[in-house]
Chain A
Amino acid sequence: MQPALTQPLFALAERWRSTLRGPERRAALATLALSVVCSSLWARTAPGRSRAWEVALVALLLVAAIASSAIGHRRRRDPSRVLLGPLKQIDPARASRALRALSLLGPDGDVTVDGTSAELARLHVVRVIHDLPSEAAVSWVALRARRWSAAGWVVAGLAMTIALANAGSVLEGADLLMARKGVAPFAMQWLEDAEVTVRPPDYLHAKVSSSDLVGSIFVPNGSLITVRGVPTRSDRRLMLSDGSNEVAFADDGSATVVARWSVTESRTLRVVARFGDVVIPEKLSLTITSVPDDSPEVHLEGAPRRVSLVDEVRPLPIRYEATDDHGLREVHLVLRSAAREERRVLSRLDGETRSDKGGYVLNLRDPFLARSHAPVEVTVEAKDNDPLTGPKWGASEAITVFPPPVGEGEALCLDALRALRSALVDTLDWRLGRDPPEPTKRKSFAADDVARAGADTKAVAEALATTRGGARIPAPLRTIILAAQETMTKAVSAEVASTSREAIAKVVESTERLVLITDAVVRGLAVRDARSSAVQLSDVADDLAQGLGQEQSEAPDRRSHGSSRASASVAVLVEGAAVLRRLGQLGHDLGEIVETDVARVERAEGDHDLPHAELAARDLAARLHDPDPSFSSRGSGPPMGGEAGGAGGAGDDEPQSPGDVEQAFGEAQDLERLVQEHAGQLGKTQGALSVAATGEEEKEALQEARQHARAVRDAVAPLPRVSGGSQSWTSKASAARDLAEQMARGLEEGRPEDALQSGRSAMGSLDEGRRMLESGGWLSDPSGEGLAAVTDARRKLESEARWAEEQVRESHRRAAERARGELQQDGEDEDKLADRARDLAQKGRESSSLPQEAIESIGAAERASRDAAEALKRGDGDRGMEQQRQAQRELEQAEGALQGSEENRDQGSDDGASSGRSPVQGPVDIPTTHKGPDEFRRRVMKGLAEPANGSIKDAWHRYAEGLLR
């Protein structure tokens, strides 16, 4: 179509557009404004959705605008569509005519209908277009423009009205609509007159402080921060926030709101208003720096350092100082070795003490050290009083104690004994090599012997007395050697007195005996030590197997733990094997097996064959659990061929544990058993004598006892209840009153023996009180009433005590009658125990395996036991028990002589050999707050104050008697 033909149409369309554009835009903008206002308001309740809505609306409007523009543009370029617009609305006939006219021509202006003149067609189109009602159409469009304009103003007005009516909300909403990551970009003020108070945790006992809600403050961890203020707008969800955590403000009922914040770490706090998932913060913030409760610091004197137990002869003093910023609760000594840990409380504190100093003595023979074969880390650890995050431990540097290889101490003892044996063999050789002296040289001959015997005595004492690697030669074995050495010394003395051929032979014989006994001790002890060391190593082998098992685990940390466990075990086994080899033939045998099996384990590990390594370790453990010789036969000699059966052989030269040694250990055990069994026998007799009386008798006795109890209370009623001072007669009188009350209670509860005991104590107190009164003169008792009261009470109590004593005697007599049969049996049993005591003393005497004091005590015990047996058989329970107690004391004394000598020597050698705590040699500050002794005294006093059963009470008596002795 030629543009010239349609130009009027396009001009017309352009006029319409210019008329409508302004009003339409205004209307669109007004709509947009309204939607923003509405979205802002909606954003306060659902910011997320409103933001989406807003974005969608804007996008829609934009799309609509663009689409409208594009459509309009196309319409304006299409003559047909221009004709179909307002023209068609105003004059449909002419518009249709124009459309038809246009249809005569194609796009390039050619005639589309055959046979029609192009000229005429063009002319027709021009005329038809010209006839169109252009002005009317313009007017129609202008009318529409006015309507659009009016609508726009209405919408704009609406938006303005809403916005003005909810200005704050609309602003908040707009802020919320612009939020990023849940936080609106523009801060607002939410609180007025805000104030902050800081309350430190209670356990710190610190004061409350206050601050503004701005700036920065340092507060102890666990403090409670309270923020209080007046909200600037009501109905806002105000929160105290650190950006990730929030605490809501609560109305306190007085127009202010309050929020509390627990400080667990450093944070910046702000007040925010929460709208759904978006907050609008306040501009100001408070930066809180949390000051944590530090772990205690512990200083261990001398740590870090390494200590080899083999080189130590004294106990290890552990001196520490623990400090904490707020307070200490406990201080522990911690011992760790491989997978084992043991904690011992050194000090318990009140949680407010900030510093604690103290000490501990770690014994060389401490059970933990004795059981540990891997290095032991000794640390002191202190626990603070932090209840918030839980108590924290602070640890000192470690003192690493390297225990001797398994059996090292025992091997050193054996080495010492071997050296002693060697020296004695030299002496024997020297004595065997000497010819009997000429008569003139007898004196010097004997003098040489004395000198040699002196040197040997010294060597024996030195070998036996020393502790080596925490081990000592057992007391029974020392006794045997010492007895043999004494025999030799006596023989030498006899030789000095008379240097005869027989006397010289006796000296040689006694030297041979000493050598043989020492040798027997070496061999017997080697067997025992090899067995015990092997059993200890079996635990290590078990540990190795478990470690290798863990190494096969899927979990890396378990694997790593298993690996280090296995390595430590292998190291201990290797060292232990080397030591075992020094423990005689059995030790050599077992040591070789350890080496062999460790080699198997290592071979398998080298091949990454952990299951077989574990199996080999288990094989070793099984072998060491049963530390018998690799080969044994209960026959008459070594194997003679075939698969089994010893026959013939070279006689009794197998390395069996020599009988003397086993006998010595056996006798020590026999004595221990005898002491225990005799104590049981004593308890049995006591039980027989305390068989309850018949119901009738009991009822009668109790009735009478109640009357006497009343009399006792009456007797002491005039005495003062309260003491006037520890050194005054009133203190004694009030104590007597208390004791009399105990006596009365004893009587009422049918415990006449206890009542008697309390009565005697009461009388003792009264006697002391009377002495004080008499020595105090007129000033202490101006009226003389005190003395009279005391004397009278004493007299009355004495009478009641006599009655109680009579009751005790009578009850014993009746019990003895009732238990006559049992007592006779007890007498016979006591006789058997006496026989055992006799045999034991006899054996000890013959084999010299018990010290002389022990033998004498056992003899005395036997005599007392016989007396007791006789008395019991004739039904004299009191006498029988008295003698039984005596026998028991003697037996315990014998046991003490056997074992106590060792302890005494241990103390003498300053190695703190006894187990448990022992005093430090150096200046160690023991914590003053340590309550151990007080606690012990308190328990003892409590225990003594309470009634006890017969056997325990008897043990107390014996203990007390022992103390007195």
Chain B
Amino acid sequence: MKTLRRALALLAMCAAWLVPPSSTAQVDVAASARDLIVRMDLEAARRLLVVADPDEPRVALERARLAVYEMDCDAASVILVRPDVQKTDDGAALAEIAHGCSRATAAVVVTHDGENGIDVEWQDERDAPLGPLLTATVVQARDMLSRDLGVDWPRPTRVVVVRDALSLSAMTGLPYASAQTTGTVAVAKWGRVTILSPRATPHGYVWRDTIAHELTHLAVTRASGDRAPLWLQEGVAKYEETRWRPSQPFDDWPPADALAKRAVESGQAFALDKLGPSIAMLPSADAAAAAFAQVTSFVRFYLTHEGEGALPKLLRAIRDAPNVELALRAASGSDIRAWDARWRAYIATRPGDPRLLSMGLGGPAKNDKKTLASYRDQRDRARLAELLVSNGHAAAAVRELDQLGAMPGAAVSPELRERRLGDPTLRWLRGVALEQSKASSDAEERNLFEDPGQVISPYGPWWASRGRWQRGRGDEPGASTSFSQAVANDPLDPECACEALPGSNSPRSSDPLCVAAQGWALSPFDD
């Protein structure tokens, strides 16, 4: 593959020298350059463009595109000021992105890691303490993707950490409304990963897996010549996003098969080839979650049937075949409809997961008065408990939480009890209240923290509380894993980054991440 690309680049260079100055020939050069750029062969594209006629609008457009890929958004903006360039097919859209990128990255802090081949632009320089973790993630994910997909990586790998969804939108061209609707936190486009800072969300998110997810998109784009369909892009990205590290309790959570089954059964599933231009542009976050579950489940199903090496084979086929249908048939012997039918038959045989209901997923929303009152009661009691804890009345907080019936023995409906039992925020809050009131018992703490399987979603502070509990019991390896999970979920929460409750002695008080978290944090109970 590498040899082929080199040959192509050489051919392109030779062609460039032979390019007659006619308009048609210049357009051909521009098209070749575009192919090289989207495959991230930027050096070859530059060589091709440097000898082309810069006055030709399409050539100018590709020069601007190259500048955007190389993070020289100012240069791209300058080129795209030309009205004739803006009138080309992608001209106006690219101009908007170049301007957005130029604005969002003006005077930001840039770290160049020549050794690892990573350039990171930090819109908020206070995020820079995340650098070591980010670098480690990128390095491991690149290695894994090279192995799994057979791709090589042009250096440097570019990552931009933005402070908010508006900047994410400006940098990538994703409509802001879509970013807000679907809760998009990262986009892999223009040869780079643009990712939202974990500080932008109230309790962080799985940012390291997200980086791996986005790198997978870049790899798939490179391997397929940017011709992979959305289902494949997203399915492979979901498949690969956790493979760069050892497996963890929430890796298949919510379970993709179960969620996809729910979606298929409720008629909310999408046809695989009709997902639209991006999952980030689906009408809601729940729809996006369902679509992710579908494509994840499908790709796993495909790999189970086609075995190891199936993905590089399929990506190569897609790159070389006239269309995806033929490529899929060439690689696997069946077209997408056949695979879809097979997968739907398979998914129908998969067992459901009752835990989805307790997560509020996969079932019709219950809006009866009793349910709503229960939810409201839970919200109110939890809030009262938070306020009581923050005022130093931990015992009263425990009393409020007791009234929730979350604990065994309380008289609430099994479904709600399940939900409350699995709610990591309630567990964490109760743990903190018990810790402060010094009324905690070993049995109760064990009940709260021992088994991650009892918790329905990852929550950084819960992991941190678990780590402290494990450390208190002398289980340092377990504590280390828990704190690692905490930081992977919510790196800028002081409890996660400093491995201690705010106000208490931290073993990591000099760690830059802990310092950054302490500088940033609100009170966990603030309004």
A935 at the interface (CB under 8 A from B): no
Assess the A432–B102 pair: CB atoms within 8 A: no
Instruction: Tell me the B193-210 residues at the A interface (CB within 8 Å).
Output: 196, 199-206, 209-210
B107 at the interface (CB under 8 A from A): yes
A636 to B280, CA, bound (A): 16
Q: Smallest CB-CB separation from A423: which chain B residue?
A: B391
Knowing A516-B383, A519-B383, A631-B165 touch, does A638 contact B201 (C-beta < 8 A)? yes
Residues of B within 8 A of A640 (CB): 205-206, 253-254, 289, 457
Q: Which of A422, A630, A636 is close to B391, meaning CB atoms less than 8 Å apart? A: A422
Assess the B425–A593 pair: CB atoms within 8 A: no
Say what secondary structure dominates the interface of chain B: helix
A948 to B379, CA, bound (A): 58
Assess the A631–B106 pair: CB atoms within 8 A: no
A641 to B375, CA, bound (A): 26
Q: Smallest CB-CB separation from A583: which chain B residue?
A: B527
B63 at the interface (CB under 8 A from A): no
Assess the A643–B520 pair: CB atoms within 8 A: no
Assess the A645–B382 pair: CB atoms within 8 A: no
Residues of B within 8 A of A635 (CB): 182-183, 284-286, 288-289
Assess the B387–A515 pair: CB atoms within 8 A: yes
B53 at the interface (CB under 8 A from A): no
Q: Which of A516, A633, A653 is close to B181, meaning CB atoms less than 8 Å apart? A: A633
Q: Smallest CB-CB separation from B179: which chain A residue?
A: A644
- Interface locus among A60-68, A615-623, A883-891: A615-623
Knowing A425-B388, A429-B388, A433-B396 touch, does A644 contact B107 (C-beta < 8 A)? no
Residues of A within 8 A of B423 (CB): 650-651
Q: Which of A619, A638, A643, A651 is close to B202, meaning CB atoms less than 8 Å apart? A: A638
Assess the B166–A626 pair: CB atoms within 8 A: yes
Assess the B292–A642 pair: CB atoms within 8 A: yes
Residues of B within 8 A of A519 (CB): 383, 387, 527
Instruction: Tell me the B264-287 residues at the A interface (CB within 8 Å).
Output: 279-280, 284-286
- Interface locus among A35-43, A134-142, A600-608, A824-832: A600-608
Residues of B within 8 A of A604 (CB): 106-107
Residues of A within 8 A of B390 (CB): 425
Q: Smallest CB-CB separation from A581: which chain B residue?
A: B522
Assess the A632–B166 pair: CB atoms within 8 A: no
Q: Which of B102, B180, B360, B382 is close to A648, meaning CB atoms less than 8 Å apart? A: B360
Q: Smallest CB-CB separation from B394: which chain A residue?
A: A429
Q: Smallest CB-CB separation from A605: which chain B residue?
A: B107
Knowing A604-B107, A640-B457, A651-B375 touch, does A645 contact B182 (C-beta < 8 A)? yes
A599 to B106, CA, bound (A): 11
Residues of B within 8 A of A601 (CB): 107
Residues of A within 8 A of B228 (CB): none
Assess the A596–B123 pair: CB atoms within 8 A: yes
Knowing A615-B102, A630-B165, A636-B361 touch, does A642 contact B237 (C-beta < 8 A)? yes
Knowing A615-B102, A642-B210, A651-B378 touch, does A630 contact B527 (C-beta < 8 A)? no
Residues of B within 8 A of A645 (CB): 182-183, 279, 285-286, 288-289, 291-292
Instruction: Tell me the A409-462 residues at the B interface (CB within 8 Å).
Output: 418, 421-422, 425-426, 428-429, 432-433
Residues of B within 8 A of A515 (CB): 384, 387
- Interface locus among A166-174, A181-189, A216-224, A584-592: A584-592
B186 at the interface (CB under 8 A from A): yes
Kindly provide the distance from the CB of B185 to the nearest chain A CB, expressed in whole angstroms. Answer: 5
Kindly provide the distance from the CB of B165 to the nearest chain A CB, expressed in whole angstroms. Answer: 6
Which of A433, A596, A643 counts the most chain B CB atoms within 10 A? Answer: A643
B468 at the interface (CB under 8 A from A): no
Q: Which of A422, A428, A615, A654 is close to B103, meaning CB atoms less than 8 Å apart? A: A615
A140 to B205, CA, bound (A): 136
Kindly provide the distance from the CB of B356 to the nearest chain A CB, expressed in whole angstroms. Answer: 8
A418 to B387, CA, bound (A): 11
Residues of B within 8 A of A429 (CB): 388, 391, 393, 396
Q: Which of B163, B187, B360, B379 is close to A630, meaning CB atoms less than 8 Å apart? A: B163
Q: Smallest CB-CB separation from B109: which chain A residue?
A: A603
Residues of B within 8 A of A646 (CB): 183, 285-286, 289
Kindly provide the distance from the CB of A347 to the nearest chain B CB, expressed in whole angstroms. Answer: 49
Kindly provide the distance from the CB of A595 to the nearest chain B CB, expressed in whole angstroms. Answer: 9
B337 at the interface (CB under 8 A from A): no
Which of A626, A637, A644 counts the most chain B CB atoms within 10 A? Answer: A644
Which of A432, A519, A588, A638 counts the most chain B CB atoms within 10 A? Answer: A638
Assess the B200–A589 pair: CB atoms within 8 A: yes
Q: Smallest CB-CB separation from B428: which chain A residue?
A: A650
Residues of A within 8 A of B359 (CB): 636-637, 647-649
Instruction: Tell me the B156-175 residues at the A interface (CB within 8 Å).
Output: 163-167, 170
Knowing A428-B396, A433-B396 touch, does A639 contact B205 (C-beta < 8 A)? yes
Knowing A512-B380, A613-B107, A650-B457 touch, does A638 contact B203 (C-beta < 8 A)? yes
A393 to B426, CA, bound (A): 69
Instruction: Tell me the B422-472 residues at the A interface (CB within 8 Å).
Output: 423-426, 456-457, 459
Kindly provide the distance from the CB of B402 to the nearest chain A CB, expressed in whole angstroms. Answer: 11
A628 at the interface (CB under 8 A from B): yes
B213 at the interface (CB under 8 A from A): yes
Residues of A within 8 A of B261 (CB): none
Q: Smallest CB-CB separation from B424: which chain A residue?
A: A650
A522 at the interface (CB under 8 A from B): yes
Given pairs A623-B164, A645-B286, A646-B286, 10 additional interface contacts (CB within 8 A): A596-B126, A600-B106, A609-B107, A622-B103, A630-B196, A631-B165, A634-B183, A637-B457, A643-B185, A653-B379
Sort A-B residue pairs by CB-CB distance and give the 10 closest, nearest first: A635-B285, A633-B183, A645-B288, A630-B164, A615-B106, A647-B289, A648-B359, A630-B200, A604-B107, A429-B393
Residues of A within 8 A of B (CB): 418, 421-422, 425-426, 428-429, 432-433, 512, 515-516, 519, 522-523, 526, 584-585, 588-589, 592-593, 596, 599-601, 603-604, 607, 609, 612-613, 615-616, 618-619, 622-623, 626, 628, 630-655
